[in-house]
Structure formats: structure tokens, C-alpha cells
Amino acid sequence: MKGEKEEGGEAVKESLEILLSREQIAARVDRLADQINRDYENKKPLLVCILKGAVVFLSDLMRRLTLPVEIDFMAVSSYGQSTSTSGIVRILKDLEYTVSEKDVLVVEDIVDTGLTLNYLCKNLLQRRPRSLKVASLLDKPERRKVDFIPDYLGFSIPDHFVVGYGLDFDERYRHLPDICILKRRAPVQD
């Protein structure tokens, strides 16, 4: 897939290359759900979805769970309109419900530097959950700036900017069923 986006009066060419197909994603989400079903047997976890990117992953994951769950949402920002994190985490939307004495499972789309999830986990631990774990669809270990390993992981991927399956660039590409590498380049000047 190819497209163009105007930036500063100059067209930037974009192309997409499939990294993980919808079939690969579905198979891995099935395995993650099986593992979570075993680990949370006889419990009612609170799934905390990190908006907006993880909403597709959350939807697919929770439909495959056989245990009762509650859901809540948080929105955080560390990217803005860039393809690299600023390192500054802002909570844009906090939880509606208390996590005190609950088994909390944070559902995230991607662990990149680890700064966002490190911050969120510290924040949530101050609220005294019974347990706190993280399920992330994707992980880019090469980019890690803090020591953070998700408890449940879909795929480790190379250091590429990816979109699709809920992940976006400037609010575009979330709708794609596959996870794709976004390649951007300015046009060659004559």
C-alpha cells in the first residue's frame, strides 16, 4: 500500500509492508487467552485497556477469555504526532473504577522504551491492587530505556514503526487488520 501525506508543504511518501498477518495475530491472541484463562482461574480480573491503540487487542482477547472479566480504560500519551516517544508520559483519561484489591491486567498494544508502562505500573501499584500484570501484543526490546518485561507477550518485533490492528500514525491506519511497517520518505528533489 502506498500513499502521500502533506507535511510542511512537502508531500511525504508512505508505504506499508505487512509484518504480522491477521492470521498470525489471531493465533497468538488465542494462545495468550488460553494462558490467561489458566493463570486467572477462579478469579475475575479487571482488564485495563490503554487507549486507543490496545482497543482492538482487548476486544479480541476478552472474547476468547472464558472467565468473567471487568474492563476499564486509561488513555496516556508519550508520542503526540511523532514516530518516536517524547519520554514524557501524560494521563489523558484515568480509570473510572478503583483497582484496590482487584487482579489487574493492563492490556497494551506495544512496549517500546518501557517508559509508559513503567510509569503506569508504578501509578497503579500505588492504588493497591491484589495483583498487577501486563499483557502486550507487541514488544520492541531493542528500544528499551528502562527494564520492563510484559507478563504476557504476543510478539517481539524489530525496531520498525508499525501501524494497524489498533496502532496508528497521526490517527491513521488503526483500521488495518494486519500489523504493518510504516515506511516514510520525502520525495527526491531534482
Report the catalytic residues. 112
Q: Is the peptide bond before 52 cis (omega within 30 degrees of 0)?
A: yes
Q: Quick check: 172 and 163 in contact, CB under 8 A?
A: yes
First to last CA, the chain: 25
SS3 call for 61: helix
Helical residues (DSSP H) of 4-156, grouped into ranges: 22-39, 55-64, 115-125
